[in-house]
Amino acid sequence: MAWTLVVPLKPLSRAKSRLADAAGDDLRPGLALAFAQDTVGAALACRAVRGVTVVTDDPLAARELSALGARILPDPPGGGLNAALAQGALAVRQQLPTAAVAALNADLPALRPTELEQVLEAASAFPRAFLADAAGVGTTLLAAAPGVELSPAFGGPSRARHRASGAREIRLRGVDSVRRDVDTGEDLRAALALGVGPHTLRHPFPGLPQPPVPSPQN
């Protein structure tokens, strides 16, 4: 099954406020963009992915992610994260009515295409399915088969909400890069240990060990 991913990204000036202790306010916007670039680049390199739609109103992010091959949609005003995802899924299916759609976080800088492929393959067995984040509280991916509404409920303890909504939880080992979203300095340390993508790798991390040069993503 070929998937179209929807990736939400808030304006870079407001992104990743909880990273201020690790990166500083002056570095946060660039780091949020780098996370998104590495996420989108890895997703587009995944064999199970036919395309990526990014929902954002940030002009710099729109330009840079479009250059990678993503489709850009404006963020619905005042709607929030789940409205952006619902709008993105609707736009995808207006073009491809039988598309399998998955929402993916924009802050997965260590994402590996092969691990994402494993998660999407597992998701294809269910009408709706989700992958919990590394903390076991939130969600990094929510998938909906053709003809099934995405019905996103991201934010905070979304793992419990997605489970309660009837989505099946994907339980796989060895897909740490798909679970490792980055909100805090500790999350960033964990992502660096996994090996981040080339855009994140270019950034300095004051107060943190410098990341090793990763092996090529596959």
Annotated binding site, which residues?
139, 155, 158
Judged by DSSP in three states, 19 sits in helix
Q: Report yes or no: 217 and 46 within 8 Å, Cβ to Cβ.
A: no
User: Can you tell me the distance from the alpha carbon of 164 to that of 200, in angstroms, rounded to the nearest whole number?
Assistant: 35
Alpha helix stretches (DSSP H) within the chain: 20-23, 28-44, 59-68, 81-95, 113-123, 158-164, 176-179, 185-194, 198-201
Q: In what order do the strands lie in the sheet with 128-132?
A: 71-73, 49-55, 3-8, 100-104, 139-144, 128-132, 168-169
Copy the structure tokens of residue 212: 């090793």
Judged by DSSP in three states, 140 sits in strand
- What is the phi/psi pair of residue 52, to 5°? -130, 130
In angstroms, what is the C-alpha Rg of the chain?
Answer: 16
Question: H or E segment at 143?
Answer: strand 139-144
Binding-site residues from annotation for phosphoenolpyruvate: 139, 155, 158
Q: Report yes or no: 192 and 205 within 8 Å, Cβ to Cβ.
A: yes
